[in-house]
A and B are shown apart, each in its own frame.
Chain A
Amino acid sequence: MSATPLLAVSELEVRYGVIAAVRGVDLEVHKGEVVAIVGPNGAGKTSLLSAIAGVARTTKGTMTFGGRQLNGVLPEDIVRHGIALVPEGRHIFASLSVLENLMLGATVRPSASAVQADVDHTFQTFPILGERRRQPAGQLSGGEQQQLAIARALMSRPRLLLLDEPSLGLAPAIVDHVYELLATIKDQGVSILLVEQNASRAFAIANRAAIMSGGRFALTGSPEVLAADERFDAAYFGTRMSGQVVGP
């Protein structure tokens, strides 16, 4: 792991009106690393990813990626920096074909031949997408749509993949398959920032993890240590222990 982080987030705050969804979050993701952020609904996990992806406006703090400032960069330029987001709920283009969805993932790539090579590679990695390449993406099952959303994000050849709740609404067997794919992506050297409610799944693949609650990181550390920490439940659900919110 390199000393200089690929993504560095410092004192980040995201507000929606008077409500602070993310409050003073510090986060680093290094090259080739998987960092998991787990926490309940409304913890601020999606807002944090949205801020990094340029979709949500930050009100305080800084974000750098590969040494370049991300604050205020438009979403369409964030992907050009090398960050791709797989949003919660997949958000594939239902009326477009599987192949068209993949081609859109390659919007920032100039070389048509390299894109075609990546499409072929994608169909090897995700065979079901190859079989259904001409079908409207809206006809795919939930698990297939999740595969498509991940494959589409990879088409931009990101250095950092942001994944928002990849297991949400999927059957356990499908979740197994999705996480096998994430392990493959990790082995290819792509850094992953993974947001999940399903802590055990996320911890199984992560190098480092954080528990987010009430817009803050309540606990951070290695997944093994966090899972064994007696403060885990309190941190996850944001309850108070001895009158204090549990901190890192």
Chain B
Amino acid sequence: MDRVVQTLVDAVSVGGLYSLTALGIGLIFGVMRLINFAHGELITATGYTLLALFGLPLPLMLFGGIFAAVLLALATERVAFRPLRSADPATLLISSFAVSFFLQKTLILFVGSRPKGVDFLPSLGSQVEILGARLQSLQIVTIVVSAVLLGALTWFLHGTRVGLQMRAAAEDFRVARMLGVRANRVIAIAFAMSGILAAAVSFLVVAQTGIVQPRMGLQLVIIAFVGTVIGGLGNLTGAALGGFLVGAGTILAQALLPPELRVYREAFVFVAVTLILLFRPQGLIPARGLKDRI
């Protein structure tokens, strides 16, 4: 029983992390039709900001991490993606790779490519007992943070005027603009929100692994991107679900597969992803009526 609880909590916690990452990608895809692989660099930038600010009071470290991710997100939008807004999706995709590589290599130039240790939130390494299972506090915190952020994002999108404008822009940006929705504002808000989500993911990953390294964000983003595709590109609920399924699926595969096959757990997950896409090529929750972005 305790092993079942432990595995489930592990799956939900990892699923939550990928869910938040997939949402960050999904938000930008919604308003710009841009698959932003540079989202990974927002996660990485937050990690290195934590490293730079290590030793300061926790609220300052958290604020600094969020500030760095949001600032970088806004800067990439303004400098790299805004001039390409009316470009075709392939150009946007390549530009997002270019931004990602540029930021990664710049970081390596200044701090090197070796992983660096950050003893961030060590108290979350303590264990708590729930239903007979001994769980890490960090897993509970990850689940709570993921749930709170998913709830807050849902409230923002469905309970505020800007959220409504963002949903309209995701469906048909051209018509949304004709109704007065300001393209620059909505896209900038989407990037800022993706920065906040990336910062939260980074906090949890750094607390979990205790290290930062230049490729930490990209690895997460590639898996989360698979999640957004199986969830349904252009649909935020789909992105959250897809990210969760890929993350949780990996953990469940680890737990359920015979020991000799566990090394192939990713292969099993991607076979499942391929099967989902064979039967539902538009993803589990297809986006309705995707139109030209601007």
Contact = CB atoms under 8 A, between A and B. Distances in A.
Contact of B164 (A76, A78, A96, A156): A96
Interface residues of B, number: 19
A104 B176 contact: yes
A122 to B, nearest CB: 15
Given A104-B176, A107-B181, 10 more contacts: A74-B177, A76-B179, A80-B180, A93-B172, A95-B167, A96-B164, A100-B164, A100-B168, A107-B161, A108-B179
A55 interface: yes
Contacts of A5: none
Interface of B: 161, 164-165, 167-168, 171-172, 174-183, 288-289
B278 to A, nearest CB: 26
Given A100-B164, A104-B165, A76 B180 contact: yes
A152 interface: yes
A236 to B, nearest CB: 28
Interface residues of A, number: 26
A156 B288 contact: no
A152 B179 contact: yes
Contacts of B165: 104, 107
A87 B175 contact: yes
A93 B180 contact: no
A74 to B, nearest CB: 7
A79 B175 CA distance: 11
A104 B181 contact: yes
Contacts of B164: 96, 100, 103-104
B289 A95 contact: yes
B168 A93 contact: yes
Contact of A93 (B171, B182, B183): B171
Contact of A76 (B161, B181, B289): B181
Contacts of B174: 55, 75
A104 B179 contact: yes
22 contacts: A55-B178, A76-B180, A76-B181, A76-B182, A79-B179, A79-B180, A80-B180, A91-B172, A93-B172, A93-B175, A93-B176, A94-B288, A94-B289, A95-B171, A95-B289, A100-B167, A104-B164, A105-B179, A107-B179, A107-B180, A107-B181, A152-B179
A74 B180 CA distance: 9
